[in-house]
A and B are shown apart, each in its own frame.
Chain A
Amino acid sequence: MIKRFYPFIKEYKKYLILGPLCVTIEVICELLMPYLMAKIVDIGIPALNNSYILHIGIIMAILAVIAIAGGCANMFFSSYAAMGFGANLRRSIFDKVQDFSFGNIDKFSTASLVTRLTNDVYQIQQTILLSLRLLVRAPLMFICALVLTLSINPRLASIICIAIPILLLAVFLILRRAYSLFATMQRKLDDLNGKVQENLIGIRVVKSFVREDYEKDKFQQANDALMRAGLRAAGLVIILFPIMMLILNGTTIATIWVGGNMVGTGLMGTGELISFVSYILQILMSLMMISFVLLMLARSKASANRIIEVLETCPDIVDLPQTKVPTENTQRGKLEFKNVSFKYNAESENNVINNISFTAQSGGVIAIVGATGSGKSTLVNLIPRLYDVSEGQILLNNIDIREYPLHALRQQIGMVLQKNVLFSGTIRENLLWGNMDAEDREISKAADAAQAEDFIKSFPESYQSELGQSGVNLSGGQKQRLCIARAMLKNPAVLILDDSTSAVDSATEANLRKSFYEDFKDTTVIIIAQRISSIVEADKILVLDDGKLVGFGNHQQLMAENQIYREIYYSQQEVID
């Protein structure tokens, strides 16, 4: 695990050396204090030597100043290293996720990716910070204090040597159990958050079915489960503290008994005994620090695993080693499917897309119709390589799409997804996604073609209107039209519309369609539509059924020869007669 995370902190290597060095200085200065104090009590006081006492006192003061400097410097270095580490790690994950394919993203789900990027990274960053501060300091303090006690009186130190293993064993046993308890607690917390989230999303459903009490009950179950898990985990950890206290104080009492006897028989100085007691304190304190860091480490292990899982996932769609740069060729937008089959999961038996072949000529309009779940969206997702075909190949301008660099391929394709997402920012900024260098004239043209200009202009701030929470609220149809405008602005060779006008009313949709046919003559348009009326003009219509191509032709041909198409058609038409 250390090896896995080291690269992210490598940049701060020198801090990793300087930090512990400063800690070492601090610890040594700190630990010399009781030792020097013993000198005052055992040598200065009996000899009634005030100047000696003062002399030692000044040394102690200087040591304290050095210790402050060392301690602060370590805080400085550790902060830089840990926060820098966190930033690097976050950046790597973010980059990685940006390179993920849709398949990768589906596997993790976006919600869990967000948690990993935020909470999990934070958890690890804080653990690293603490480790940097304590993991050198505590063991060092432990060792130095142990050495000093041995140097003061080896016989007395043997008491400590008995106490430590007992303490370590107790800490080990408790922490081992605590780890699984904390993991359970985390799971219960996830459950609870899931419940809240679900209620936020589905609040309208809850309200319209009057299920508030039902939801409250479900929530309370999760809430109680979390409380029970919390009580168990915290209840175990607090045992640690009194056990440590007892061992620590037991050791001290034993020391005073044995040491007291030694002082009585002149084998040891009173000052030495006092400083000895101080060191016991230091030793136990450092052990507590170590066990605390271990506890933190145990708790962040789950986070670390979740992050490693992301980092170790290979994007399943990547550029081939040798890619072809697309040339401005004459056949802009010619699209060909050759025996394409696809399944989401390599192990599953059934293909979602089954051996489909067809050709879309440059500038043509291809429509896809079919029942819910027949594979329409899946089919178009294959074109910009959101998923890769399982068998067969797809050619764009006679070149296998896998031979293009991904970036270049997607540059040629404009796509409006079924579920649209707009980002916070102004309308203009959102449209610019299509083409960062677009001029206002082009933006306006695309918006006009997408039937969005009118409503955009109706907002007080027009194209500069902010979207989202603080800004204008768009209706579903308006959102769809903005998304279409965004895709149009790209001036793509292939424009894919995945049922993107479902919330647009018929009249507006008719206008939209007109601009597809008229303004985008050299763009190959692929439309998934529910309404046959939207697509009767298409050059070719693909009829999908259960992932298979069961009809291919224009409206007239399909009406004449395709049973399924006719059924779809009549299911929408009978109203007219």
Chain B
Amino acid sequence: MASKNYQPDPKNMPKNHGGHPSGPGSHGYRKPKNAKKSLKRLGFYIGKSKGKLTLVFILMAISSVAMLAASYFLKPLINNYILPGDFAGLARALAVLTVIVVVGALASYLQNKLMIGIAQRTTNTIRKDLFAKMQTLPLKYFDTHTHGELMSRYTNDMDNIYMALEQSLVQLLSSAVLFVGTVVLMIVLSPLLFLITAIILAVMMLISKKLGGKSRTHFGQQQKNLGILNGFIEESIEGIKEVKVFNHEQQMKDEFYELNRNYRDASIKASIYAGVIMPIMNNLNNVSYAATAVFGGVLTVMGRFDIGSLAAFLQFSRQAGQPINQITAQLNNVFAALAGAERIFEVMDEDSEIDLGQVRLIELGDQQQERSWAWSDGQTQTPLLGDVRFNSVNFSYNGEVQVLKDISLFAKPGQKIAFVGSTGAGKTTITNLLNRFYEIQEGQITYDGIDIKQIKKDDLRHSLGMVLQDTHLFTDTVMGNIRYGRLDATDEDCIVAAKASGADGFIRRLPQGYQTILRGDGANLSQGQRQLLAIARVYVSDPPVMVLDEATSSIDTRTEHLIERGMDGLMEGRTVFVIAHRLSTIRNAKAILVLEHGQIIERGNHQELLNQQGRYYQLYTGQHELE
């Protein structure tokens, strides 16, 4: 009788292991280090659909038994009805068989249907958790991991998990059931004949194990080469403009050819080893079939076996090898999935940003402006003013190189403080400490007198407006990108902000004005235009403290001049930290701090610093020495 295990199950075919190009250093394939642990955690996710899963197993059992029964049915069919010529009995028996077959097919369909649902929902949940976790990771994590590496968690690894859930889980179990069932029924039919089958099965298992291991090794090699190749492709395409400007096409091609060849050779080996398993197994199965036919024939001749049993046994001997193939193939999938799950869980196990802060920001009235810090005791309230102090702050990114040394400074509400210094002096780092992108090692930073570690991180950041050195925009309308600053801002609010930041002009010239959709991080805008939008975005958010990190570096001075009033309006009444190379933009700051090698070497206002004739004076006159 036809069995499910006979077909070239589409699900067993080699599947896409190409996946997303992973960054250099992250290779798609790796043996799971702690399979048991990953399995357990994966089990937790699947366990959420426990009820359905139980149903799946029941259905799986029904369809397996139906399959075995259908094959076994050949014996009574031939012996009891066909050979004696009992056609009425044959008709009855066939009717029963039809019922068995229909039930089996239905059970298998329902089981698949349920399993797809479970697999989809499980991966959906894992993906959701992974993304949520990603949002809580500290910036340090993103500094030390490539985007490609993280992306491949969402693509490759998630894919492998889905595949394993959708097929391997059930297939593994049903193969096991079928294998045991087949063996038992074969022994029932003829223990003697089963001996022959057993020998060949043992050989098959041995070969399957041997080849399987070899194929896994080569597959690992292939994935490693693929990782390198994809990494190179990614880098060379991202930098293609550089390649062209430097006439480097040929060198890139040569390097690519070599990596391409390496991958090809590795993949040929992997594919051969994976491929030959199939014909070897199939034909060994045929050998088993032949041997059974011969010895079964001889036994029948000797009168110790009957034709009906022989027919059923032959059917079983064909099927017996199939579960072994299945189990080999599915185990590969399961291992790939576990390795993927392990990588995903690795990300989930990373430390989140530390946020032990208890002090919350509360709104006093309907007005955004009237806000206050509320302490966790529920009693104390501190008005939100924007007073920021650094007390002897030391900081290092990696624990080795001291990036900031003994930084102390204060900004009273409404004051404008500027940082000046050469590239790499630590200006941006200071602002990154204020919003706790990174945690300081020593010293203290306070906001309105409260240690920022005591403030709930979200609220701390709500009270800070940042225009960052690198502007990033999102796939959304221009309006949506401005509204990113405050989600409940009205269209009018956004337009006011755009006007104040000088972005209104170019926005209106865009094809759909404010409704123009920006794609690919605002790729179609110039750097200067992106900065204008970033400023508008902060304008909308209306924070008491603002950080402008080279916010206008790509805006030409004439435009900058035009938006100056808007910028002044934006800064008015707020504590502002400014980093700018253009010293002209910071001349009116309350205090200017000159940084060098992570230390404040000079401080004072513009005039004081000029009179001091120190580093600031050099920088300032250096800018003008050519005039």
Task: Report the bound CA distance from A280 to B108 in whole Å.
Answer: 21
**Given A113-B237, A117-B237: A202 in contact with B474 (beta carbons within 8 A):** yes
**Given A40-B294, A53-B301: A510 in contact with B553 (beta carbons within 8 A):** no
Nearest Cβ in chain A — how far from B488, in angstroms?
12
Q: Are B521 and A201 in contact (CB under 8 A)?
A: yes
Q: What A residues does B245 contact at CB under 8 A?
A: 384, 386, 410, 413, 415, 417
Interface residues on A, range: 35 or more
Task: From A75-83, A148-156, A355-363, A440-448, give the one contacting chain B.
Answer: A75-83
Q: Are A216 and B132 in contact (CB under 8 A)?
A: yes
Q: Does B369 contact A (CB under 8 A)?
A: no
- Closest residue of chain A to B124 (Cβ to Cβ) is A227
Q: Does A461 contact B (CB under 8 A)?
A: no
Q: Does A333 contact B (CB under 8 A)?
A: no
Q: What A residues does B14 contact at CB under 8 A?
A: 126, 129-130
Task: From B34-42, B46-54, B184-192, B280-288, give the one contacting chain A.
Answer: B280-288
Q: What B residues does A504 contact at CB under 8 A?
A: 423, 581
Q: Does B139 contact A (CB under 8 A)?
A: yes
Q: Are A86 and B529 in contact (CB under 8 A)?
A: no
Q: What B residues does A253 contact at CB under 8 A?
A: 94, 97-98, 101
Q: Does A245 contact B (CB under 8 A)?
A: yes
Q: Are B142 and A200 in contact (CB under 8 A)?
A: yes
- Closest residue of chain A to B144 (Cβ to Cβ) is A469
Q: What A residues does B528 contact at CB under 8 A?
A: 372-373
Q: Are A33 and B112 in contact (CB under 8 A)?
A: no
Q: What A residues does B146 contact at CB under 8 A?
A: 469
Task: Report the bound CA distance from A122 to B81 in whole Å.
Answer: 54
**Given A67-B279, A503-B581: A568 in contact with B18 (beta carbons within 8 A):** no
Q: What B residues does A119 contact at CB under 8 A?
A: 16, 18-21
Q: Are A53 and B461 in contact (CB under 8 A)?
A: no
Q: Are B113 and A91 in contact (CB under 8 A)?
A: no
Q: Are B2 and A252 in contact (CB under 8 A)?
A: yes
**Given A72-B280, A210-B462: A194 in contact with B475 (beta carbons within 8 A):** yes
Task: Report the bound CA distance from A36 to B290 in whole Å.
Answer: 9
Grouping DSSP codes into helix (H, G, I), strand (E, B) and loop, the A interface class, with mixed when no group exceeds half, is: helix
Q: Are A84 and B264 in contact (CB under 8 A)?
A: yes
Q: Are A199 and B21 in contact (CB under 8 A)?
A: no
Task: Report the bound CA distance from A78 to B274 in whole Å.
Answer: 12
Nearest Cβ in chain B — how far from A251, in angstroms?
8
List B1-56 residues whose CB lies under 8 Å from chain A.
Answer: 1-2, 4, 6-8, 10, 13-21, 23-25
Q: Are A193 and B437 in contact (CB under 8 A)?
A: no
Task: Report the bound CA distance from A537 to B625 in whole Å.
Answer: 11
Q: What A residues does B624 contact at CB under 8 A?
A: 533, 576
List B213-258 residues whose CB lies under 8 Å from chain A.
Answer: 230, 233-249, 251-253, 256-257
Task: Report the bound CA distance from A242 to B97 in whole Å.
Answer: 16
B441-475 vs A, Cβ < 8 Å mask (1 yes, 0 no): 00000000000000000100110101011101111
Q: What A residues does B252 contact at CB under 8 A?
A: 98
Task: Report the bound CA distance from A231 to B19 in whole Å.
Answer: 21
Task: Report the bound CA distance from A369 to B559 in whole Å.
Answer: 12
- Closest residue of chain A to B238 (Cβ to Cβ) is A110
Task: From A257-265, A319-327, A394-402, give the one contacting chain B.
Answer: A257-265
Q: Are A56 and B474 in contact (CB under 8 A)?
A: no
CB contact between A568 and one of B139, B246, B520, B557 (< 8 Å): that residue:
B557
Q: Are B484 and A211 in contact (CB under 8 A)?
A: yes
Q: Does B627 contact A (CB under 8 A)?
A: yes
Q: Does B554 contact A (CB under 8 A)?
A: yes
Q: What B residues does A200 contact at CB under 8 A?
A: 142, 147, 150-151
Q: Are B278 and A75 in contact (CB under 8 A)?
A: yes
**Given A119-B20, A417-B242, A436-B251: A198 in contact with B475 (beta carbons within 8 A):** yes
Q: Does B78 contact A (CB under 8 A)?
A: yes
A374-397 vs B, Cβ < 8 Å mask (1 yes, 0 no): 100100000010100000000000
Q: Are B2 and A280 in contact (CB under 8 A)?
A: yes
Nearest Cβ in chain A — how far from B400, in angstroms?
11
Q: Are A53 and B298 in contact (CB under 8 A)?
A: yes
CB contact between B298 and one of A50, A72, A280, A296 (< 8 Å): that residue:
A50
Nearest Cβ in chain B — how far from A343, in angstroms?
15
CB contact between B241 and one of A105, A122, A126, A507 (< 8 Å): that residue:
A105
Q: Does B173 contact A (CB under 8 A)?
A: no
List B151-172 residues whose CB lies under 8 Å from chain A.
Answer: 151, 154-155, 166
Nearest Cβ in chain B — how far from A542, in angstroms?
14
- Closest residue of chain A to B222 (Cβ to Cβ) is A83
Task: Report the bound CA distance from A144 to B256 in whole Å.
Answer: 45
Task: From A1-9, A334-342, A470-478, A518-526, give the one contacting chain B.
Answer: A470-478
Q: Are A533 and B520 in contact (CB under 8 A)?
A: no
Instruction: Give the size of the chain B interface in residues (CB under 8 angstroms).
Output: 175
Q: Are B253 and A94 in contact (CB under 8 A)?
A: yes
Q: Are A433 and B246 in contact (CB under 8 A)?
A: yes
Task: Report the bound CA distance from A292 to B561 in whole Å.
Answer: 66
Task: Report the bound CA distance from A234 to B117 in whole Å.
Answer: 9
Task: Report the bound CA distance from A506 to B581 in whole Å.
Answer: 7
Q: What A residues does B506 contact at CB under 8 A?
A: 372-373
Q: Are A510 and B135 in contact (CB under 8 A)?
A: no
Of B8, B23, B461, B470, the most chain A CB neighbours within 10 A belong to B8
CB contact between B101 and one of A61, A208, A249, A503 (< 8 Å): that residue:
A249
Q: Does B206 contact A (CB under 8 A)?
A: no
A56-78 vs B, Cβ < 8 Å mask (1 yes, 0 no): 11001101110110111011101
CB contact between A507 and one of B239, B253, B557, B618 (< 8 Å): that residue:
B618
Q: Does A550 contact B (CB under 8 A)?
A: no
B99-122 vs A, Cβ < 8 Å mask (1 yes, 0 no): 001101110110011001100110
List B546-562 residues whose CB lies under 8 Å from chain A.
Answer: 550, 553-561
Q: Are B556 and A371 in contact (CB under 8 A)?
A: yes
- Closest residue of chain A to B232 (Cβ to Cβ) is A424
Q: Does B328 contact A (CB under 8 A)?
A: no
Q: Does B569 contact A (CB under 8 A)?
A: no
Q: What B residues does A369 contact at CB under 8 A?
A: 556
Q: Are B553 and A503 in contact (CB under 8 A)?
A: yes
Q: What A residues does B64 contact at CB under 8 A?
A: none
Q: Are B104 and A245 in contact (CB under 8 A)?
A: yes
Q: Does B570 contact A (CB under 8 A)?
A: no
Nearest Cβ in chain B — how far from A346, in angstroms?
17
A223-253 vs B, Cβ < 8 Å mask (1 yes, 0 no): 1101100110011011101101110111011
Q: Are B108 and A196 in contact (CB under 8 A)?
A: no
B368-393 vs A, Cβ < 8 Å mask (1 yes, 0 no): 00000000000000000000000000
Task: Report the bound CA distance from A126 to B15 in whole Å.
Answer: 8
Nearest Cβ in chain A — how far from B241, in angstroms?
6
Q: What A residues does B128 contact at CB under 8 A?
A: 216, 219-220, 223
Q: Does B60 contact A (CB under 8 A)?
A: no
Q: Are A197 and B237 in contact (CB under 8 A)?
A: no
Q: Are A256 and B423 in contact (CB under 8 A)?
A: no
Q: Does A203 contact B (CB under 8 A)?
A: yes
**Given A249-B101, A280-B2: A71 in contact with B280 (beta carbons within 8 A):** yes
- Closest residue of chain A to B428 (Cβ to Cβ) is A475
Q: Are A231 and B117 in contact (CB under 8 A)?
A: yes
Q: Are B294 and A56 in contact (CB under 8 A)?
A: yes
**Given A270-B307, A292-B8: A48 in contact with B301 (beta carbons within 8 A):** yes
Q: Does B490 contact A (CB under 8 A)?
A: no
Q: Are B472 and A469 in contact (CB under 8 A)?
A: no
- Closest residue of chain A to B86 (Cβ to Cβ) is A264
Q: Does A353 contact B (CB under 8 A)?
A: no
Q: Does B204 contact A (CB under 8 A)?
A: no
**Given A50-B301, A122-B18: A196 in contact with B116 (beta carbons within 8 A):** no
Task: Report the bound CA distance from A253 to B87 in whole Å.
Answer: 14
- Closest residue of chain B to A374 (Cβ to Cβ) is B556
16 contacts between A and B (CB under 8 A): A60-B294, A63-B286, A64-B284, A78-B271, A102-B241, A111-B520, A204-B470, A209-B485, A227-B124, A242-B105, A253-B94, A278-B318, A285-B7, A372-B556, A499-B554, A564-B558
Given contacts A71-B280, A105-B241, A119-B21, 6 further A-B contacts (CB under 8 A): A75-B272, A76-B272, A121-B18, A198-B474, A200-B150, A531-B557
